[in-house]
Amino acid sequence: MEEAINKFVLAPAEVVDPGSLTKRRKLTQGEINKALKVFENGGGAKLLTHLNSCVHCGLCAESCIYYKATGDDRFTPARKVDLVASVYRRYHTFAGKYLPSLVSARDLNEDTADEMVDLLFGACTMCGRCTMHCSIGVDIAYLVKTGRTMLSVMGMVPATLQSTVKAAVDTGNNMGIPTPEFVDTLKWMEDEMMDEPGTKDARIPVDAKGRNILYTLNPREPKFFPLSISAMAKIFYAAGESWTLSSSMYDITNYAYFSGNQDEASLIAKRMWDEMDKLDASTLVLAECGHGSRALRWESPNYLHKTFPFKVKTSVEIIADYLHDGKIKLDREKFKEAVTLHDPCNLVRSGGICMEQRYILNEFIKDFREMTPCGIDNYCCGGGGGQLAMSEYNERRMKTARVKAEQIRKTGAKIVVSPCHNCVDQLTQINFSFKLNVQIKTLAELVADALIL
Amino acid sequence: MTWYTVFFFIAFLVCMAGLSFHLLRLLQSGNNMDYAPQSGSITAGIRYSFTGAMSPTKKESAFLHLPTYSAGIIYHLGTFLSVLLIFILWADVIFPAALSWGLASFLLVSALCGIGILLKRMIKKGLRELSNPDDYISNVLVTVFQLLMGLTLVSGKVFTPWLFIAAALLLFYIPLGKLKHLLYFFAARWQLGLFYGRRGVWPPIKNQKP
């Protein structure tokens, strides 16, 4: 197990030339036309607005971890916007059609598409920090996603990211864990819990119908970090919650959100909706996964064109509720070390879950230290936007990590907590690469350790 | 009406038609139905988008670039002032000398800010690579307009034809290039306020520390 964890989390960044991994091929006119259709399909006034708004002031540069860490002008968010907007201008504006060089309008061809792959997939985590600080108000992350969708319809999603999506589509979880293996892991965790004092009666229910909560997981939990499953199970037990896991559809992640493939994103989301219906649960609780929470809570109703027929909450909100309602109690003496909090971009900046985790930590952490900046202004860890799945960009990703490493170091904290498994993976690599000597934990793990049972 | 005011008037109509086209297209496109349940206040989000979020204390693009930000603010004020003044001049209103000199002085400062921004675009490698001819033309048109307005205010009618010609060229150009951000800026702030307001991200909760 230890070896597997190290291989997955602690592998040094490989130096791979992204270009060598993508075999250049000629785009057909049909593919180009399909990509251009993205500008017309469903973006509405929002897309039109943001495609036409950038004034090339370049003041967004420092908001981006890629620029901040490398100083490379190519990584300025405005350059990414311009890449998508220049194609739009070429086909949809008077100046772009008749005076393309005046407004740097570009044909959508192999050169443009290759540059889009490199900058939109390989140099952006879609963290949205640049959006928040744009002098005009251009939703840069949204335009990057639009560009990714165009690449997706042309079949130009990096193979590594696409294989993660494919695993989820084919097997129901992005790591392709067979159901018997998953159920065995749950049983093993349940046995471990029952051996511990205080949780002898705790259970990990599977496929139980009519429960209050259907809880989800990030597949990295059963695969590499099963203790985080039992952490949440202990919290549910302590709160006296009626809950269950599904044996077949538990994966909170939706990497198709990052690949830009709407059809696959919709399919993955629909399975979770269907599972809620099948198990007749009242509330879907989203595990600690930033993008997964966003994809389900904010995007899935729009993928499926309907409102939720059930309640949806993140595990962070649920834990905050338990504490607020006195359903769980935490030992304030458990952690004497300084603790800092990393804010997952999709949960906080794009999801509005900002104070709940602070409320929880304030309940039992004596020495809590905010990063600077923090909350909705916090920097991305560098692992978002599917970056952790795209090994061809490992070297670049770990360069951007310097920003987060410096933030953590400045807090002087010994424990870094983040309510996102994806962030935890990146933070673990940062910890190793930058020799920070800190512990990286999810929020549930920290809470479970401090539970008074 | 002189030939140059007629020219200006035609340009004004063309500009209005162009901007109306952009506005109508935006309105016709509409906003997609958002099926996800709202968790914040859209109204508060939009209000914050146009107020607090624009504050140099909140916006990193402003507080990390205070000289550029300040120059930009002055430059825009100079542009709005010049637009207001040209309609006043068109109506043959004559200002007292002291006011004319005061306004011209401000326009000189704002035009210098525009020139500074232009020089920055030309000198800084990253900004130069990001720029296209539209960026330079837009700046030159606006800066020349402001300079001519200042000169016209203090030198009688000598520069008036040139002012109206410059204003007309500017008006013709607005709907074509990046200057149309005079419309899209408001749309973008509105969209952003809608997005963050709906999700309860904006306005941010003030006390972020437990």
Domain CATH code at residue A31 = 1.10.1060
Q: Are strands A283-286 and A339-341 parallel, antiparallel or unpaired?
A: unpaired
Let me know whether A241 and A178 are in one domain. yes
Q: Is B177 on the interface with A (CB under 8 A)?
A: yes
Predicted pLDDT at A68: 97
Predicted pLDDT at B163: 97
Kindly state whether residue A333 falls inside one of the protein's structural domains.
Answer: no
- Test B187 with A297 for CB contact under 8 angstroms: no
Q: Model confidence at B94, in pLDDT bands (50, 70, 90)? A: confident
Beta sheet of A368-369, edge-to-edge order? A368-369, A339-341, A415-417, A439-441
Let me know whether A390 and A266 are in one domain. no
> CB neighbours (10 Å) of residue A449?
15
Tell whether omega for the bond before A373 is within 30 degrees of 0, i.e. cis: yes
**Which residue type sits at A446?**
L
User: Rounded distance, CA B54 to CA B62, Å?
Assistant: 8
Kindly state whether residue B82 falls inside one of the protein's structural domains.
Answer: yes
Q: Is B69 on the interface with A (CB under 8 A)?
A: yes
Let me know whether A206 and A353 are in one domain. no
Kindly state whether residue B30 falls inside one of the protein's structural domains.
Answer: no
Q: Outline where chain B has alpha helix (H).
A: 3-29, 42-50, 60-63, 66-90, 97-123, 125-130, 133-154, 160-173, 181-198
Work out whether the CA dihedral A9, A14, A17, A19 comes out positive or negative: negative
Kindly state whether residue A69 falls inside one of the protein's structural domains.
Answer: yes
Q: Model confidence at B156, in pLDDT bands (50, 70, 90)? A: confident
Let me know whether A222 and A349 are in one domain. no
* Share of residues in chain B with pLDDT > 70 (%): 98
User: Rounded distance, CA A281 to CA B196, Å?
Assistant: 30
How many independent structural domains does chain B possess? 1
The CATH number assigned to the domain holding A389 equals 3.40.50
Predicted pLDDT at A13: 37
The CATH number assigned to the domain holding B186 equals 1.20.950
> CB neighbours (10 Å) of residue A425?
21
Secondary structure (H, E, C), A65-131: HHHHHHCCHHHCHHHHHHHHHHHHHHHHCHHHHHCCCCCCCCCCCHHHHHHHHHHHHCCCCCCCHHH
Kindly state whether residue A14 falls inside one of the protein's structural domains.
Answer: no
Q: What residues of chain A lie within 8 A of the CB of B134, using their CB?
A: 95, 102-104
- In the numeric block, which tokens belong to residue B38? 């709202």
Predicted pLDDT at A95: 95
Q: Are strands A311-314 and A243-245 parallel, antiparallel or unpaired?
A: unpaired
User: Over the stretch B45-67, which tens digit does the pLDDT of each residue have?
Assistant: 999 999 999 999 999 999 999 99
When comparing pLDDT for B205 and B209, which is higher?
Answer: B205
The region that residue A23 occupies, defined by phi over 0 for left and psi between -120 and 50 for alpha, beta otherwise, is beta
How many independent structural domains does chain A possess? 3
* Mean pLDDT, residues B67-82 taken together: 97
Let me know whether A170 and A141 are in one domain. no
Let me know whether A47 and A82 are in one domain. yes
Following DSSP, what letter does each residue of A275-342 receive, concatenated? HHHHHT-SEEEE-S-HHHHHIIIIIHHHHHTS--SSEEEEHHHHHHHHHHTTSS-B-TTS--S-EEE-
Tell me the average confidence (pLDDT) per consecutive run of 10 residues in chain A, 453 residues long. 40 41 76 96 91 97 97 98 98 96 97 97 98 97 98 97 97 96 97 93 97 98 96 98 98 97 97 98 98 97 97 98 97 97 98 97 97 97 97 96 98 98 98 98 98 95
Let me know whether A120 and A245 are in one domain. no
Provide the domain limits for residue B149: 3-18+38-198
User: Rounded distance, CA B207 to CA A358, Å?
Assistant: 11
**Which residue type sits at A33?**
N
Kindly state whether residue A19 falls inside one of the protein's structural domains.
Answer: no
Domain end among A283, A298, A324: A324
Predicted pLDDT at A6: 41
Kindly state whether residue B206 falls inside one of the protein's structural domains.
Answer: no
Kindly state whether residue A17 falls inside one of the protein's structural domains.
Answer: no
What value, to the nearest 5°, has the Cα angle with vertex A377 and ends A401 and A51? 90
Of chain B residues 129-148, which have a CB less than 8 A from chain A? 129-135, 137
User: Rounded distance, CA B54 to CA B69, Å?
Assistant: 11
Kindly state whether residue B23 falls inside one of the protein's structural domains.
Answer: no
Provide the domain limits for residue A145: 24-155
Kindly state whether residue A209 falls inside one of the protein's structural domains.
Answer: yes
Q: Say whether A190 sits in a helix, a strand or coil.
A: helix
- Test A132 with B69 for CB contact under 8 angstroms: no
- Test B130 with A48 for CB contact under 8 angstroms: no
Q: What residues of chain A lie within 8 A of the CB of B26, using their CB?
A: 45, 48-49
Domain end among A155, A179, A194: A155
Please tell me which residue of chain A has the smallest CA distance to B65.
Answer: A59
User: Rounded distance, CA A234 to CA A214, Å?
Assistant: 15
